[in-house]
Amino acid sequence: MKKKNSSAVRLRSPQALLSGTILKKLSALEELLKKKDDKPLTFKDACAYLGYAPSYLYKLTYRKVIPHYKPTGKMIFFSKAELDEWVYKGNVKLRIENVELKDEGASTSLSTKDPNQMEIELKEEVVVELPRKRKR
């Protein structure tokens, strides 16, 4: 007689199959409920909904931080469900990096100061005398 292979595939019990299908259907229902309340928001609506100033929301869309759509190439639209997900998700890793950068001080190359300004450290006090204007 032939020996049966010990690595044969075991059939799952009917209860396991039933619970798996129930979980799949529940997750599908959750997705449908999320999409039910979803509607496109205009830029002004999104500003009011999030409580952000228009300039800050433009900055977030420019940096592609926040999910947005431009179907015509000009007007910006937002999905309410995606905005909720974005707000609740929160990028913890990004927050940690920002805190670490603040702890390192202004010596980092990612400083928030204006790149057109130059910072000079003076070790000694320097006095500069300018010539006086002559009276005519």
> Does 130 map to a domain?
no
- Residue in the block written with tokens 């609506």: 45
Question: In Å, how far are 99, 125, 133 from 136, measured between CA atoms?
Answer: 60, 34, 9
Phi-psi region of 76 (alpha: psi -120 to 50; beta: other; left: phi over 0): beta
Any idea what the CATH number is for the domain that residue 71 is in?
A: 1.10.10
> Does 62 map to a domain?
yes
Tens-place pLDDT, residues 9-21:
555 666 666 777 8
Report how many domains make up the chain: 1
Tens-place pLDDT, residues 26-75:
888 887 777 776 788 999 999 999 999 999 999 999 998 999 999 988 89
User: What is the domain extent for residue 50?
Assistant: 38-104
> Does 74 map to a domain?
yes
Tens-place pLDDT, residues 85-120:
888 886 655 555 555 655 665 454 555 666 666 666
